[in-house]
Amino acid sequence: MGKMERPELTEEMIEEAFTMLKEHHIKVSEEKGMGAIVSSHEAVGIIQEEFLELGQVLTSGVDPRSSQDFKHELLDIAYAAIYSLASFKAGAFDF
C-alpha cells in the first residue's frame, strides 16, 4: 500500500476549529453549567461515550462529509478532552 496523501492544514484552519470549539463551549456551558469533572474515570467515560456516538454516526449510513452530527460529535470529543484537562488542572480529580 502506498502512503496516503495528506493535505496541509493552515494556521487559519486550526484557528477556525478552535473558534468552533469555543462556540461549542459557550453553548454546552449554558446548557449544563460549569461543574468540574471530578475523576479520571468520569473523564474517560465521557470521552468514550462521545467516541462511541461518533462511531454511530459513521455507521448510520449518512455521509459524514455532509452530516452536522459528525461535526457535532467531533466537537463533543474535543470539548470533553479540554474540559477534562481544565478540571484536572483545577485539582478537581480525586482519581
Q: Is residue 77 part of a domain?
A: yes
Longest dimension (CA), the chain: 48
- Rounded CA gap, 17 and 66, in Å? 17
From first to last of its 95 residues, what are the pLDDT tens digits of the chain?
678 899 999 999 999 999 999 999 999 999 999 999 999 999 999 999 999 999 999 999 989 888 899 999 999 999 999 999 999 999 999 99
pTM: 0.89
40: left (phi over 0), alpha (psi -120 to 50) or beta: alpha
Total domains present in the chain: 1
Q: Is residue 19 part of a domain?
A: no
Q: Is residue 62 part of a domain?
A: yes
C-alpha cell at 92: 478537581
Residues whose CB is less than 8 angstroms from the CB of residue 76 and which lie 6 or more positions away in sequence, other chains included: 24, 50, 53, 54
- Rounded CA gap, 20 and 1, in Å? 35
Q: Is residue 24 part of a domain?
A: no
Kindly state the helix (H) or strand (E) to which residue 50 belongs, with its residue range: helix 40-58
Domain residues for the domain of 46 are 36-95
